[in-house]
Amino acid sequence: MIETKELKKTYKQGSLKVKAVDNVNLKISDGEFTAIVGPSGSGKTTLLNCIGGLDNPTSGKVIIDGELISSYSSNQMIKFRLNNIGFVFQSYNLIPVLTAKENIEMVMLMQGYNKKDMEKRSSDLLNEVGMGDMSKRRPSELSGGQQQRVAVARSLASKPKFILADEPTANLDSKSTAKLLDIMSRLNKQEKITFVFSTHDQRVIDRARRVVTLEDGKIIKDIKK
């Protein structure tokens, strides 16, 4: 379970203090398929960054499965992210010099997988996202939708507790978006993987089973479908 308690994140813009996240209390249970929505500047990304340990909150707590991760050191946080959180980025962020398969295997290498297990798992994951026949292609040889599917497979490689996805469909056409959402939805239902999106894509919002709406850093609506 992901839990935030009175979470605040304040940025300084010159002499002004901007409250990007303002006193957010949120609980996301295992197996949820949650979309965090809101207009630009509402604090969606900052909230996800704090949950994923990429940003330190100004005050408040982030608790994951009972562990207070907001008190972790930088190195502890890197290790925690490696073993517990999968990330899907808006612009895919695959390593351009590695093939699709190698991009996935890199996470497992960091975790210390042996070669045999790693190869099997990376092949399984690529098949899972429908990219099994493109395992040897580099990112530059793949379309945006295909790259994002590889990115989803990469986020799953470390067997994370949950996946944080920031606007994962923002750069995709409708066909690729539908395919990606099908994959993530299936993984959520079959594998019980928790997905948390930040998005303002109506297609994602329509498929989400819970929609948390942020405005000026505050939760103004939390609807479970």
The answer to whether 71 contacts other proteins (rule: CB under 8 A) is no
**Parallel, antiparallel, or unpaired: how do β-strands 33-37 and 59-64 relate?**
unpaired
Stretch that binds other proteins, among 34-42, 103-111, 126-134, 217-225 (CB under 8 A): 103-111
Instruction: For other proteins, give the closer residue by CB, 86 or 145.
Output: 86
The answer to whether 96 contacts other proteins (rule: CB under 8 A) is yes
The answer to whether 73 contacts other proteins (rule: CB under 8 A) is no
Q: Using the rule CB under 8 A, which residue among 93, 123, 171, 185 binds other proteins? A: 93
Q: Using the rule CB under 8 A, which residue among 68, 109, 220, 223 binds other proteins? A: 109
The answer to whether 18 contacts other proteins (rule: CB under 8 A) is no
Q: Using the rule CB under 8 A, which residue among 11, 71, 82, 143 binds other proteins? A: 82
The answer to whether 55 contacts other proteins (rule: CB under 8 A) is yes
CB of 4: closest distance to other proteins in angstroms? 15
CA distances (Å), 179 to each of 102, 169, 210, in order? 23, 10, 20
Task: Report d(CA 113, CA 162) in Å as an integer.
Answer: 20
The answer to whether 106 contacts other proteins (rule: CB under 8 A) is yes
The answer to whether 52 contacts other proteins (rule: CB under 8 A) is yes
Stretch that binds other proteins, among 28-36, 99-107, 179-187, 201-209 (CB under 8 A): 99-107
Instruction: For other proteins, give the closer residue by CB, 32 or 166.
Output: 166
The identity of residue 26, as a single letter, is L
Q: Which residues bind other proteins (CB under 8 A)?
A: 45, 48-49, 52, 54-55, 74-75, 78-79, 81-83, 86-91, 93, 95-98, 102, 106-107, 109-110, 112, 154-155, 158, 164-167, 198
